[in-house]
C-alpha cells in the first residue's frame, strides 16, 4: 500500500517503522528538515519537508493516489485539516490523531462524518485503557481481550518461588483444573511458542490465553490472584492521567494525583472533583510518603520523563506498593525498566502503532479472513491476532491436526456463536468463527490462510 504519514515525532516514527517493516511504500512529511534527515538515515522511505496541510505539498507527496493518509502531528486541528484535504484530493482512507478530551466525547462522531475521516486515534486514551485493565487485574503485567472478551491474553512473570518453576506444560495441564493455554514464554532475550514438553523456569514471562473465568481460576489455584487496585496514586497530570483517573473513579476507586504545574493541577481539580489533586513535585520522595504512598495498592508514574517514571516506580515498590506502572517511550528503556523491577511498562507510541498496523492489515485484505485485532506481546517479538473466518476459506472443515501450519504458529482459541472453544487436534474451523492465532511477529500475517505453509 502507498501510505503518507504527516508528523514524524515519537508516534509518527514508531508507526513509520512498523509500516516499513511490513513492506509498505511510505512517504514521510514533516516541517522539520532535521527530523526528516534522521528518518532518512534509518529507513528507506521518501521524505518531503513542508506543511502537511498545504495542497501543493500533498500533491507533490502523491496524496491523490494514496491508499492511506495518516496525520499524527501534535495539533488535532492540523491533523483533521490535513486529512480532510487529502481525502478531497483522492486519498482512499484517512486517519487522524485526536487527543483533546472534548473532541473525543460527543463531537467526535460529528467531526468524523463531516470531515470524511475514516479513523481517529487517541494515544493517551489507549494508554489509559491499558493501565485501567492492569489495575483491575493486577496479577498480570499485560492484558488484552479478544473476540468481545470471550478470551483474554495475559502476561505474568514467574517469581523465584513459583510453583510452576521446573514444571512442563503437560504437567501443568494435568495438575491444574483451569483450562488455560500457555501460548508463549519470554526468557531473557529469547521468546518461545512452547509445546507440552517445554519446562518453565523462575523469572520466565509467560503468556496465558483462556476465557476470563478460567484465567482467574488458574491464578487463584496458583495463589497469585490479586484483588483490584482500589487506592491509586498517579504522578503526572497529563492527558493519560485525566482519562485514567476518570475511569478509576467511575468504578469506585480512590485516586490521588500529584502534578507540579499549578495551572494543570487546577484544571484537574475542576475536571475530576472526586479525585484528590496535590500540586507538588512527584519526584520529591518525602512528598510521596507524606501523601500515603505506603498505603497505596498501585502507583502509576506518568510524567514526561522516562527515567523519572522508572525510578519513582522502583521507589514505590521499595515502600510496599504491590503494583507499579511506568510510562516509558524510549524503546531502549522498556526492557531496562522491567529488569529493574517495574511491574508494568506502557508505551503510548507502541499502542498506537499496534492499532494502526492492525488497521492497515485489515485494509490490505478487505475480501478475505482479515485481521480484526492485533496485539504485540513479549516485547514485540510475538503477535496475537484475531481473524474472522470468511466463507470459502480453504482451512474450513479440516481438523486442526491435519492443517499444515507454519513453524511457530499456534491456534489458541475459537469463538463460535458467542461460545469460546479451547481447540484440540480434532477441532475444525467453520465460516463465521473468530480465531485467535499466536505467531512470531516477523511473519506479518494479513489473512488467516497465511498461517498455512
Q: Out of 61, 96, 121, pick the residue that ends a domain.
A: 121
Q: Which residue has the cell 506479518?
A: 444
Cell triple for residue 324?
Answer: 507499579
Residues 6 and 117 in one domain: yes
Beta bridge partners of 452: 405
> Strand, coil or helix: what is 45?
coil
Nearest Cα residue to 140 out of 76, 222, 63: 222
Residues 331 and 368 in one domain: no
Residues 88 and 20 in one domain: yes
Q: How far is CA 154 from the centre of its chain?
A: 12
Residues 18 and 113 in one domain: yes
Q: Is residue 159 part of a domain?
A: no
The domain that holds 409 is classified in CATH as 3.30.70.1450
The torsion angles phi and psi of 363, rounded to 5 degrees, stand at -65, -35
pLDDT score of 145: 85
Cell triple for residue 389?
Answer: 473466518
Residues of the chain under the 70 pLDDT cut? 104-106, 365-369
- For residue 112, the enclosing domain spans 2-121
In contact, 50 and 31? CB cutoff 8 Å: yes
Residues 338 and 365 in one domain: no
The torsion angles phi and psi of 70, rounded to 5 degrees, stand at -125, 125
CA distance 350 to 306: 15
pLDDT score of 265: 97
Q: Is residue 61 part of a domain?
A: yes
Residues 339 and 377 in one domain: no
Q: Is residue 333 part of a domain?
A: yes
- Global pTM? 0.89
pLDDT score of 362: 81
> Strand, coil or helix: what is 67?
coil
> Strand, coil or helix: what is 48?
strand
Nearest Cα residue to 29 out of 76, 74, 72, 91: 72
Residues 11 and 107 in one domain: yes
In contact, 179 and 214? CB cutoff 8 Å: yes
Q: Out of 90, 121, 152, pick the residue that ends a domain.
A: 121
Q: Is residue 144 part of a domain?
A: no
Mark 404-434 as b/e (b = at least 16 C-beta within 10 Å). ebeeebbbbbbbbeeebbbbeeeeebeeebb
pLDDT score of 280: 97
In contact, 185 and 143? CB cutoff 8 Å: no
pLDDT score of 339: 85
Which residues, including other chains, have CB under 8 Å from residue 346's CB and lie 6 or more apart? 127, 130, 131, 325, 326, 327, 328
Q: Note the pLDDT tens digit of each residue in 299-327.
A: 999 999 999 999 999 999 999 999 999 99
Binning the chain into helix, strand and coil, the percentages to the nearest 5 are 40, 25, 35
Q: Note the pLDDT tens digit of each residue in 68-84.
A: 999 999 999 999 999 99
In contact, 352 and 126? CB cutoff 8 Å: yes
CA distance 83 to 259: 34
Residues 330 and 382 in one domain: no
> Strand, coil or helix: what is 171?
helix
pLDDT score of 260: 96
CA distance 372 to 286: 47
Q: Say how many domains are in the chain.
A: 3
In contact, 364 and 447? CB cutoff 8 Å: no
CA distance 158 to 141: 11
Residues 396 and 325 in one domain: no
Q: Which residue has the cell 478530551?
A: 101
Residues 329 and 395 in one domain: no
In contact, 299 and 293? CB cutoff 8 Å: yes
Which residues, including other chains, have CB under 8 Å from residue 34's CB and lie 6 or more apart? none
Q: Is residue 336 part of a domain?
A: yes
Cell triple for residue 111?
Answer: 467531526
Residues 240 and 314 in one domain: yes
Cα-Cα end-to-end distance for the chain: 24
In contact, 71 and 79? CB cutoff 8 Å: yes
pLDDT score of 65: 95
Could you give the C-alpha distances from 197 to 71, 186, 192, 223, 409, in angstroms and in order? Answer: 47, 16, 12, 24, 17
CA distance 449 to 453: 9
Cell triple for residue 92?
Answer: 482512499
The domain that holds 294 is classified in CATH as 3.40.50.720
In contact, 230 and 297? CB cutoff 8 Å: yes
Residues 8 and 109 in one domain: yes
Q: Which residue has the cell 512498523?
A: 18
Phi-psi region of 98 (alpha: psi -120 to 50; beta: other; left: phi over 0): beta
Q: Out of 323, 346, 369, pick the residue that ends a domain.
A: 346
Question: Nearest 5 degrees, angle CA 148-CA 150-CA 156?
Answer: 110
Beta carbons within 10 angstroms of residue 60's beta carbon: 13
Amino acid at each position: 500500500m502507498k501510505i503518507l504519514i504527516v508528523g514524524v515525532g515519537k508516534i509518527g516514527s514508531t508507526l513509520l517503522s512498523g509500516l516499513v517493516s511490513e513492506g509498505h511504500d511510505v512517504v514521510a512529511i514533516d516541517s522539520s528538515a532535521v527530523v526528516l534527515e534522521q528518518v532518512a538515515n534509518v529507513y528507506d522511505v521518501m521524505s518531503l519537508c513542508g506543511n502537511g496541510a498545504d495542497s501543493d505539498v500533498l500533491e507533490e507527496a502523491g496524496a491523490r493516489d494514496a491508499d492511506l493518509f495518516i496525520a499524527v502531528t501534535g495539533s488535532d486541528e492540523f491533523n483533521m485539516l490535513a486529512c480532510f484535504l487529502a481525502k478531497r484530493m483522492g486519498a482512499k482512507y484517512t486517519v487522524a490523531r485526536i487527543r483533546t478530551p472534548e473532541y473525543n466525547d460527543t463531537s467526535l462522531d460529528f467531526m468524523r462524518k463531516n470531515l470524511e475521516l475514516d479513523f481517529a486515534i487517541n494515544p493517551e486514551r489507549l494508554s489509559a485503557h491499558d493501565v485501567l485493565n492492569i489495575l483491575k487485574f493486577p496479577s498480570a503485567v499485560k492484558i488484552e481481550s479478544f473476540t468481545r472478551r470471550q478470551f483474554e491474553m495475559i502476561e505474568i512473570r514467574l517469581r523465584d518461588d513459583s510453583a510452576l518453576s521446573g514444571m512442563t506444560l503437560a504437567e501443568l495441564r494435568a495438575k491444574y483444573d483451569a483450562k488455560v493455554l500457555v501460548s508463549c514464554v519470554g526468557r531473557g532475550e529469547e521468546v518461545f511458542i512452547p509445546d507440552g514438553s517445554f519446562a518453565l523456569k523462575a523469572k520466565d514471562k509467560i503468556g496465558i490465553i483462556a476465557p476470563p473465568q478460567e484465567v482467574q481460576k488458574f491464578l487463584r489455584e496458583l495463589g497469585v490472584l490479586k484483588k483490584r487496585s482500589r487506592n491509586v496514586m498517579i504522578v503526572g497530570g497529563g492527558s493519560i492521567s485525566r482519562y485514567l483517573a476518570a475511569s478509576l473513579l467511575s468504578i469506585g476507586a480512590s485516586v490521588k494525583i500529584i502534578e507540579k504545574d499549578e495551572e494543570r493541577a487546577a484544571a484537574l481539580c475542576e475536571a475530576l472533583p472526586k479525585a484528590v489533586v496535590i500540586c507538588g513535585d512527584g519526584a520529591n520522595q518525602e512528598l510521596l510518603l507524606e501523601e500515603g504512598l505506603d498505603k497505596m495498592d498501585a502507583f502509576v508514574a506518568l510524567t514526561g520523563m522516562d527515567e523519572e517514571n522508572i525510578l519513582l516506580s522502583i521507589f514505590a515498590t521499595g515502600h510496599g506498593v504491590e503494583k507499579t506502572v511506568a510510562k516509558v517511550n524510549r524503546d531502549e528503556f522498556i526492557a531496562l525498566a522491567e529488569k529493574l523491577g517495574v511491574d508494568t511498562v506502557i508505551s503510548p507510541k507502541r499502542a498506537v502503532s499496534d492499532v494502526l498496523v492492525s488497521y492497515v492489515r485489515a485494509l490490505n485484505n478487505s475480501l478475505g479472513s482479515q485481521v480484526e485485532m492485533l496485539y504485540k506481546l513479549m516485547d514485540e517479538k510475538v503477535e496475537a491476532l484475531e481473524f474472522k473466518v470468511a466463507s470459502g476459506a480453504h482451512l474450513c472443515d479440516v481438523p486442526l491436526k491435519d492443517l499444515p501450519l507454519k513453524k511457530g504458529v499456534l491456534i489458541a482459541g475459537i469463538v463460535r456463536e458467542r461460545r469460546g472453544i479451547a481447540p484440540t487436534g480434532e477441532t475444525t474451523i467453520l465460516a463465521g468463527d473468530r480465531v485467535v492465532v499466536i505467531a512470531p511477529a516477523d511473519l506479518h500475517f494479513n489473512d488467516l490462510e497465511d498461517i498455512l505453509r
